[in-house]
Structure 1
C-alpha cells in the first residue's frame, strides 16, 4: 500500500541517513592512487567487458604492466597508459598468442566453462605465479539459507560431459548449468594452478558500464518520479558491489599474493530494500511516492523486479544475505551507495537515446501502473 502515517518515522530516518551519505563531489577530491611497492606483469583474460577496464585503469595507476587477451571483438577504451593487446579465441582453443610468455599474475574474468580453464592451464602453467578467477555466488548448492559462507557446498554438475559444454548449451539451461559449471571451473583452476589460486565469488555487480540494467532500473525509475512499486515491506536485504570496487580489489589481491576463496558482495552493512530506494532518491531528488506491494503478490503475478530477493521462502533467499566477512578481512572496501548511484546515472545518461529508452531489466511504466491498480483492487 502507499506510504502510511505510521511508517513516516521510519522513512524519514531512512531519508536522513541517505542524505548523509558522502557526496560525489567529495569522492572526486580523493587523493590520487598511490603506486604499488612492486610493479607486476599482469595478464587479464578479457579486460574490455564490465569490470575489466576498471582493473586495467587501476593496475596502470598502481604502476603495473598490463597485457590483455581477448577476441578483439569489443573496442578497447582509451587506456590511461600503455596496454599490450593479444588476440585469440578460447572457444576454439586458439591461445597461441600466450605461448612462451610469462606473467606474475593472470586474472581470468569471463570464464564460465571448465575447458577454458583447462586450456589456459596447458599454456600458462609454470608461466604465471598467481591465478585469480572471477566466479559467482551462484555456485552454492543451497541458495535458500542466509549467511552462506565460502565453505558451503557447491552445486553438482548433472550433465553428461562438463568439458563438452559450450556457451550455447549453458545458455539453453542456465538455471541448472551456470552455477555448476562455474563450480567445476573453480575446481579446474585449482587443478591447473595448485595453491596459487584466488577464487572471487561476486553477486550482483553494479555501477557504470553495467549493461544488464538490473540495478540501473532502480535509480533510473526513481529519477523519473511519481509512484514507484517497491516489492515487499522494505526490510528484505539487498547485496550489490560496484564494479570498480571489485576490479580494484582484484588488483590489490594480486599485489598481496592473497589466495583462497572469497564472497565479493556488499556493502559492509545490512542494506534493506527501503534503504536502497531511499538512497537512490537522496541522489535523484524530486517528488515521489513509494508503494509497498507484498512479496506474495509479486510472486503470483510473476513481476520481474531485479536485484530484490525476499528474505525467506524462496530457493534464492540466501543470495541477499551472503557472508562477506572473509573478503572484508582481505581488504575489500566499498564506495558509498550515493557515489555508485550518481556515477551510474551519469554514465547511463551518456548512452544513445535509443539505449536509454529501453532497459534490459525491470518493468515498464505501463506495466507498473497496471500492477499497482491490480494491487489496489485486490487490497480493497
Structure 2
C-alpha cells in the first residue's frame, strides 16, 4: 500500500522539481554540432521511424555518409540527396539491395525478431565493422527490483522455435514474446557479429515524433489545466529518454567504436512523478491543480496511466529505476526535461487537429474525472 495524499502538491515539492530543471532560457538553444574526426559509412536499418531520423540528422551534421534500408513506405523527403535509400523487406528475407556492399557501421533500429538479425548477418557479416542493435529493458527476467544492471538475467523464451516467430505471432502475444524475442535477437547479434556488437536497451523513448503518446499524455493533459490526477503518492521514480539523446549517442558510440551492453535510460538523476508533472507544468503554465490517487485504488478502476509504474508493483516496480551508470560512463547525456517538453508540445501541436484530439495513451478526460470523483468520495474529500 502506498501513502495516500489527497491534497495539492506542497510548495516544497514544486521547488524540488524546479531545481532539477535548468531554466527555459537554457533549454531553448541547441549546441552546435562539430564534425567527427573520421567520417564513417553508416548503414541504418529502418531510419524513418521515431529515433532513426535523429540518427540521420546527427550523422550528417557530423560529416558521415548515411545509407538507409527499409521498405520505402515512410519516405523522408527532408534528406533530399544527402542520404542513399535502399529498399527491401526483412519480413520476406528480401535483402538483395545490401548484397556486395560494405559499411563501417550498421545500426539496427526496428528488429524484434531473431530471424531478422540472422538474415542481416548472412548478408552483412564481414562487411560491416560494427553492429549496433536497439533492444529494450523488457529483456530482463525480473523487473520487480530497482537498480537492474546490464548483467541481470534475461527473460526466457518458452516457444518452440524462435526463428519461426513472425510479426504476426509477435503481435498476437506481445506480452509474452516481446522481451524474450528481443533477448534472443541480442544473442543472435552477438553470434553473427561477435565482439563488434553493441546492445542498447532503452526504456521509455519520448519527445518529438513519438506517436505512442505515452509521455505526451502528461504535458498535453497538464496544458489543459484543471484538476489533474497524478497516480501514486508522487515519489515513484520515472525514467524517460529523449529520442534525440538516444539517437545522437548511438552515433557517438559508432564513432568511438564502443561495444558492450548498455541500459539507455534517463535522466541522470532520480526523476519522481511529482518532479515530472511539475516539470511539465513549468513549461505549460496556466492554472492547474494536482490530486494524488493511490496505486491500489487505481488498480480497482482498471485504468492505466502511461510512463508511471508503482515502485511497489510486484513485477515491474524496478522499471522506473534501472541502472544507467554504464551508459553514462560511455557518454550518454540528456537534454533538460524542459527542452523535451517544450519541443514535444511544439511538434504535437503541429499535427492535424483530429490527431491531437485522439491520444494513443492515457485515460480520457471523462475517465479521469470519474476516477477523481470516486476517489474523493471514498476519501471524504
Measured against the shorter chain, the TM-score band is over 0.9
Figure out how many residues of one structure are paired with residues of the other and give that number.
Answer: 376
Aligned to 1:295: 295
Q: Note closer, same or farther for the CA distance 1:264–1:12 as it changes in structure 2 (3 Å cut).
A: closer
Aligned to 1:63: 63
**Structure 1: segments with no counterpart, 5+ residues:** none
**Structure 2: segments with no counterpart, 5+ residues:** none
Query: Offset at 1:299?
Result: 1.1
Query: Offset at 1:80?
Result: 7.3
SS for the counterpart of 2:201 is strand
CA distances 1:175-209 after superposition (whole Å, capped 9, x unpaired) = 11000000000000000001000000000000000
Aligned to 2:350: 350
Provide the C-alpha distance between the structure 2 equivalents of 1:103 and 1:289, rounded to a whole number of angstroms: 53
Deviates more, 1:70-79 or 1:113-122: 70-79
Q: Note closer, same or farther for the CA distance 1:346–1:153 as it changes in structure 2 (3 Å cut).
A: same
CA distances 1:227-256 after superposition (whole Å, capped 9, x unpaired) = 000000000000000000000000000000
Aligned to 2:363: 363
Query: Offset at 1:2?
Result: 4.0
Provide the C-alpha distance between the structure 2 equivalents of 1:366 and 1:177, rounded to a whole number of angstroms: 33
Aligned to 1:21: 22
Aligned to 1:281: 281
Provide the C-alpha distance between the structure 2 equivalents of 1:227 and 1:28, rounded to a whole number of angstroms: 29
SS for the counterpart of 1:318 is coil
Of the three residues 10, 14, 17, the one matched with 2:12 is 10
Provide the C-alpha distance between the structure 1 equivalents of 2:27 and 2:231, rounded to a whole number of angstroms: 31
| Correspondences of 1:135-146 after superposition (within 5 Å) | 135-146=135-146
Query: Offset at 1:17?
Result: 2.6
Query: Offset at 1:169?
Result: 0.5
| Correspondences of 1:1-380 after superposition (within 5 Å) | 2-4=6-8, 8-14=10-16, 16-17=18-19, 21-23=22-24, 25-79=25-79, 82-380=82-380
Query: Offset at 1:298?
Result: 1.0
Provide the C-alpha distance between the structure 2 equivalents of 1:135 and 1:302, rounded to a whole number of angstroms: 29
Provide the C-alpha distance between the structure 2 equivalents of 1:81 and 1:223, rounded to a whole number of angstroms: 39
SS for the counterpart of 1:132 is strand
Q: Note closer, same or farther for the CA distance 1:257–1:179 as it changes in structure 2 (3 Å cut).
A: same
RMSD over aligned CA atoms reads 1.3
Query: Offset at 1:16?
Result: 3.9
Segments of 4+ moved more than 3 angstroms: 25-31
Provide the C-alpha distance between the structure 2 equivalents of 1:236 and 1:3, rounded to a whole number of angstroms: 17
